[in-house]
Structures are given as structure tokens and as C-alpha cells.
């Protein structure tokens, strides 16, 4: 009986992996064709369109989605060990809590190892001036922040890719469109310090927000 149960479990795991593989092979390319009407018609905006960023699916996969979009920002072809499904497996997101710090940084260092990207610094509780300065030096910023409204709250990974002087270009800020602009005021709201008290997560590092990773191209 135990052998039979083990056989069934193995078959179910294989089926789940096949479903996920098909999902991300078929759905992601369609998402990459989307265009966002909120983007201005200037040189930088046109380059943003060419990057073909994606929106997350489902709603707890913002971690691997932010990393996948980092590859698109760097014009890296996400093939072989850098495709979305592999980043997903490295991040190990769960439906309840999304992607934890350990999984996200594991996937990020995997990207750095296999690309021309480098992480200049990792910052807890960054300020808007540091973020904008890095963006203006042709860098990108991966940001994890805590959000809340009247009915619910949560944590979200996004990718910041540029500063137009008036607004910040952000990827996957909303699930409805891959890229949009946010104001400095909105950025500062994302950078407000937050800590889960009592702790929500087992590891202390997962209870402190925001966190930022400053990325540059070599």
C-alpha cells in the first residue's frame, strides 16, 4: 500500500510540474505582448516598451516576476537556467506568504552568477533619494515593501527602472499592466518602515520592510 501511495504522489508531482511548465510557456509570451497606454511617447518610454515586461500570475508570484523582469530590463534572453519556471523554483513562493527573503536572494544571486549584472548594494529601509540617484545612474532597483488599505494588507516585490524627473517607472506595480509611472509621493509611501509585531514570519528578516537591491549592468 505504501508503494502505491508513493507512486501516486510521484505522478501528481509530475502532473503539477507539467501544468506549471505549460502555463508559463503559453501565458507569459502572451503577457509579454501587452502594451501599456500609460507610457509617454519619448525615447526612454519606447525602450521600456521594447523590454516587454510581464505582469505576475498568479498574485503570489511577484518575487519571481520581479526577477524575470530584471532580465528583460538587462536585455538578457531568459533561457535555460534563467527561464521563469526556474526562477519560480528558486524563489519557492507559497500562496499564503509569497516569496521569502531567502528564496528571493537565492534566485537573485543565481541571476548575477549567470549574467553581466551586479548588485551594488542591498539596503534595509532605503530612502527615496538613494533610489532615485541609482535610477538616474542607469541602474534598476528591486524593491520589497509592505502595503495596506482599509480591508487588507500584504507585501509586494516590484522593479524600478527609471526616473523621468516627475515620475518613477515601475514594473509590476499592479497586476493589470506590466509597467506604469508612480509619483515621488507614492514611492515615499512604499518606503515607509514597517515591522510585523507580533512577528508574522518565522525568520526576523522576513518581518522587516522595506528592502531594496540596487542592480547595475557590468
- What pLDDT digit, counting tens, does each position of 138-161 carry? 999 999 999 998 888 999 999 999
Which residues constitute the domain of residue 87? 32-217
Sequence-distant (6+) residues with CB within 8 A of 65 are 54, 55, 56, 84, 157, 172
- How many other CB atoms are found less than 10 A from the CB of residue 83? 17
Q: Provide the domain count of the chain.
A: 1
pLDDT recorded at residue 182: 92
The rounded distance, in Å, linking the Cα atoms of 71 and 53 is: 9
Identify whether 80 is part of a domain.
yes
Identify whether 4 is part of a domain.
no
Judged by phi (left if over 0) then psi (alpha if -120 to 50, else beta), residue 153 lies in beta
Identify whether 49 is part of a domain.
yes
**Highest mean pLDDT pick, 39-48, 60-69, 75-84:** 60-69
Identify whether 13 is part of a domain.
no
- What pLDDT digit, counting tens, does each position of 8-59 carry? 766 666 776 666 555 544 444 444 343 333 445 455 666 666 668 888 877 7
- How many other CB atoms are found less than 10 A from the CB of residue 205? 12
- How many other CB atoms are found less than 10 A from the CB of residue 210? 20
Identify whether 7 is part of a domain.
no
CATH number for the domain that contains residue 211 = 3.90.70.10
| Signed CA dihedral, 86, 126, 152, 203: sign only | positive
Helix (H) or strand (E) holding 118: strand 117-124
Instruction: Return phi, psi of residue 172, to 5°.
Output: 65, 35
- What pLDDT digit, counting tens, does each position of 89-117 carry? 999 999 889 999 999 999 999 999 999 99
Amino acid at each position: 500500500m505504501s508503494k502505491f501511495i508513493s507512486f501516486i504522489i510521484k505522478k501528481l508531482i509530475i502532473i503539477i510540474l507539467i501544468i506549471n511548465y505549460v502555463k508559463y510557456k503559453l501565458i507569459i509570451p502572451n503577457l509579454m505582448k501587452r502594451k501599456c497606454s500609460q507610457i509617454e511617447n519619448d525615447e526612454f518610454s519606447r525602450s521600456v516598451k521594447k523590454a516587454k515586461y510581464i505582469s505576475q500570475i498568479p498574485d503570489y508570484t511577484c518575487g519571481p516576476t520581479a526577477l524575470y523582469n530584471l532580465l528583460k530590463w538587462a536585455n538578457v534572453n531568459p533561457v535555460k537556467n534563467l527561464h521563469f519556471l526556474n526562477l519560480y523554483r528558486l524563489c519557492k513562493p507559497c500562496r499564503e506568504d509569497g516569496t521569502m527573503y531567502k528564496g528571493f536572494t537565492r534566485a537573485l544571486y543565481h541571476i548575477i552568477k549567470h549574467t553581466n549584472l551586479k548588485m551594488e548594494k542591498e539596503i534595509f529601509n532605503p530612502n527615496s533619494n538613494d533610489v532615485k540617484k541609482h535610477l538616474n545612474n542607469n541602474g534598476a532597483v528591486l524593491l520589497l515593501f509592505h502595503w495596506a488599505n482599509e480591508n487588507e494588507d500584504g507585501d509586494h516585490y516590484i522593479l524600478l527602472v527609471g526616473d523621468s524627473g516627475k515620475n518613477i517607472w515601475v514594473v509590476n506595480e499592479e497586476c493589470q499592466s506590466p509597467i506604469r509611472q508612480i509619483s515621488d509621493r507614492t514611492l515615499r509611501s512604499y518606503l515607509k518602515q514597517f515591522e510585523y509585531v507580533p512577528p508574522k514570519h518565522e525568520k526576523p528578516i522576513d518581518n522587516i520592510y522595506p528592502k531594496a537591491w540596487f542592480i547595475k549592468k557590468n
